[in-house]
Structure 1
Amino acid sequence: METTQAVGCHADGSSRCPTPLDAVLERLRCPLCHAAVLRRDGKTVLCQRGHSFDIARQGYLTLLSGRRRHRGDTAEMVTARESFLGQGHYDALRSTITAFAAEYAPRQSRLVADLAGGTGYYLASTLNALPQACGATLDLSAAALRRASRAHPRAAAIGADMWQPLPLASRSADVVLNVFGPRTPGEIDRVLTGGGVLIMATAGAEHLRELRDRLGTIGVDSRKANRLRHAFGGFVEVARQPVRWRLALSRDQVRALVDMGPSAHHIDSDHRARVVQELPDTLGLTAAVDVVVLRRDTSGG
């Protein structure tokens, strides 16, 4: 199993990254052969076995391989998400995630990896709390990566499939963020450093229930919490915070909320439009998210 040494963005340990991608390059690995030595050659990144990957004009690097079962968010979904989050509706959640990172991340953290991180909204705030760390948003959506590449001066954007082995070297990430996204516990365990932490946010049973009733979507499975505990059986919980708040949204804001999430993939657009049009001028919604901090169990018990 390959490893990486904990190094800063500069040899002197300062937080000024030459470029975000250059700063995290040594903590990435080839998705084809899993070689952990990557180097940059102009607009291309090469592994030691000759596999090459392009750097997009917007600055993000795509590390994808093989056929993909899942599709990334569309440009319309990403635009809706950026609009909705930019209005501060999920600030309570972002603040909780940021506080947990400041409180539980290893001292001198060097890399924060945001899995299925979208536009980098949560990563940017976390990096503000960890001034010596650089970050990487990993996402499948090119539209999201274009925005994530400019989310923070110390954040790189990497095209990756969360259902495949992560293009991160083993023991490379001091903090892993996972906010509403898919997750593979074995890969998270592999990439976390010895004292690293996973900060995970999942929807509670009541999350957006008023809107789910109108759209006819399936609610949160009551067995989800037990499944997560089993999946992360090799981790210990070091902190948990149920985050609950009320949203007062206009029709346009509800439209953005619906269009930015999985409903945009699974529910007919005409049905979504009719539901939104029939809403009152201001709709009250329950926001309920559980945020947990996990660390690898080293007790040997």
Structure 2
Amino acid sequence: MPPARDIPLLCPVCRNPLRFGGDGAPTLACGAGHSFDAAKQGYFNFLVGKGTVFEADTADMVAARFDFLSAGHYQPLADAVAELAMPALAAAPGIRPAVLDAGTGTGHYLRTVLDRAALESSPLESAALESGSADSASPGRVPAAAIGLDISKFALRRAARMNPDAVNVVADVWQPLPVADAAVDVVTVVFAPRNAAEFARVLRPGGRLVVVTPRPGHLAEIAGQAGMLGIEPAKDERLAASLDRNFTPAGARDLDLALFLSPRDVANLALMGPAGHHLDRTGLAALEDGLPQRTSVSARFRISVFERNHPGK
């Protein structure tokens, strides 16, 4: 049984608890009779009713992101996110820590968090927890459970292959999340929307929100010619203001990466972001053909950490 099954999920229709089918069946069902079968690629689709009004990433945008991230260009960012998530994943003995990756995309960042958590877990306690014999005397950590959530089914097809040990769900982050109250220790949000109230609801006491945003100058060498979106003014101030009612800042880390990208890398970088919804594919191909063998690009990130406010703040 994958550790992700330990996370209490809620039905997107009635908000009753969901349970996995017996004998390893890839089905989730609630007591009210609503059920959700896993797609053949391994993810669950929780978009119900009218679905969502937001535009999901397309297949070619997701393919570009997968290829770019698989090349390792942003691996130092993934490593930094995992490092900042670890303190909150150091759960009490015998309790499996859990992470929600909101806007999981292709699952690369979540994969790094889970690998880091597994590396730092106690093999003895992990075995004890799997056998049901873990108790308060067991030292160390246990492997983390995880939910990967995204609005794009094309992204979730990739994420489910990347993270088969997670529950991968197509859902709208602006709707009530299909996760029970106080069910996860960490919420990670890498270049994705932030539903502060819902993140606070699903976090356990002492839980941590880790948010990645671009800093001024991010990809400036190619942004204009590739038709990419600019960095919004006062982005940090707006981030803090949007979270203020539910979270308290607990630190931040700036990360700069010097990248040397091939023409294909540059095209993938342009296509994988929000501008990919509007980019002229023919013009992007012409840009790729005209680029030098290597282009020097600066990636500039801010990784912000927030702690959940105590009730009544």
| TM-score range normalised by the length of the shorter chain | 0.7 to 0.9
Q: Give 3-state SS (helix, strand or coil) of 2:76's partner.
A: helix
Residues 95 and 61 of structure 1: CA distance in aligned 2, closer, same or farther (over 3 Å): same
Deviation at 1:60, TM superposition (A): 1.3
CA distance in 1, matches of 2:276, 2:19: 36
**Corresponding residue for residue 246 of structure 1:** 258
Mind listing any 5+ residue stretches in structure 1 that lack a counterpart? 1-17
Assess if the C-alpha contact under 8 Å between 1:105 and 1:174 holds in 2: yes
- The partner residue of 1:274 within 269, 273, 286 is 286
CA distance in 1, matches of 2:62, 2:117: 26
Deviation at 1:271, TM superposition (A): 2.2
Assess if the C-alpha contact under 8 Å between 1:148 and 1:156 holds in 2: no
**Corresponding residue for residue 186 of structure 2:** 175
**Corresponding residue for residue 36 of structure 1:** 17
Which sits farther off after the overlay, 266-275 or 121-130?
Answer: 266-275
Which sits farther off after the overlay, 289-298 or 53-62?
Answer: 53-62
- Consecutive aligned runs of 4 or more in structure 1 exceeding 6 Å deviation: none
CA distance in 2, matches of 1:66, 1:207: 38
Output the TM-score relative to the length of structure 2.
Answer: 0.84
Deviation at 1:262, TM superposition (A): 1.7
Give runs of aligned pairs for residues 179-198 of structure 1, distance below 5 A. Answer: 179-198=190-209
Assess if the C-alpha contact under 8 Å between 1:101 and 1:129 holds in 2: no
Give runs of aligned pairs for residues 158-173 of structure 1, distance below 5 A. Answer: 158-173=169-184
Assess if the C-alpha contact under 8 Å between 2:20 and 2:29 holds in 1: yes
**What whole-Å deviation, never above 9, does each CA across 1:68-109 have from its counterpart, x for those lacking one?**
112322222222211111111001111111111123434245
CA distance in 1, matches of 2:53, 2:76: 33
CA distance in 1, matches of 2:179, 2:311: 26
**What whole-Å deviation, never above 9, does each CA across 1:39-74 have from its counterpart, x for those lacking one?**
426343211212222211222111112321123222
CA distance in 1, matches of 2:27, 2:166: 18
Q: What code does the residue aligned with 2:9 have?
A: L
Give runs of aligned pairs for residues 36-75 of structure 1, distance below 5 A. Answer: 36-40=17-21, 42-67=25-50, 68-75=52-59
Structure 1 residue 76 corresponds to structure 2 residue 60: yes
Q: Give 3-state SS (helix, strand or coil) of 1:150's partner.
A: helix
Q: What code does the residue aligned with 2:16 have?
A: A
**What whole-Å deviation, never above 9, does each CA across 1:173-232 have from its counterpart, x for those lacking one?**
111110001111111111111111111101112111122121344311112211111111
**Corresponding residue for residue 151 of structure 1:** 162
**Corresponding residue for residue 296 of structure 2:** 284
Q: What code does the residue aligned with 1:128 have?
A: D
**What whole-Å deviation, never above 9, does each CA across 1:214-261 have from its counterpart, x for those lacking one?**
134431111221111111113122221011111110101112212222
Which sits farther off after the overlay, 65-74 or 37-46?
Answer: 37-46
Assess if the C-alpha contact under 8 Å between 1:235 and 1:295 holds in 2: yes
CA distance in 1, matches of 2:242, 2:114: 28
Mind listing any 5+ residue stretches in structure 2 that lack a counterpart? 119-142
Residues 252 and 176 of structure 1: CA distance in aligned 2, closer, same or farther (over 3 Å): same
Please, what is the CA RMSD of the aligned residues? 1.9
**Corresponding residue for residue 142 of structure 1:** 153
Residues 53 and 104 of structure 1: CA distance in aligned 2, closer, same or farther (over 3 Å): closer
CA distance in 1, matches of 2:43, 2:227: 37
**Corresponding residue for residue 262 of structure 1:** 274
CA distance in 1, matches of 2:44, 2:21: 11
Assess if the C-alpha contact under 8 Å between 2:4 and 2:146 holds in 1: no
**Corresponding residue for residue 208 of structure 1:** 219
Output the TM-score relative to the length of structure 1.
Answer: 0.87
Of all paired residues, the percent bearing the same amino acid is 36
Assess if the C-alpha contact under 8 Å between 1:127 and 1:154 holds in 2: no
Which sits farther off after the overlay, 206-215 or 41-50?
Answer: 41-50
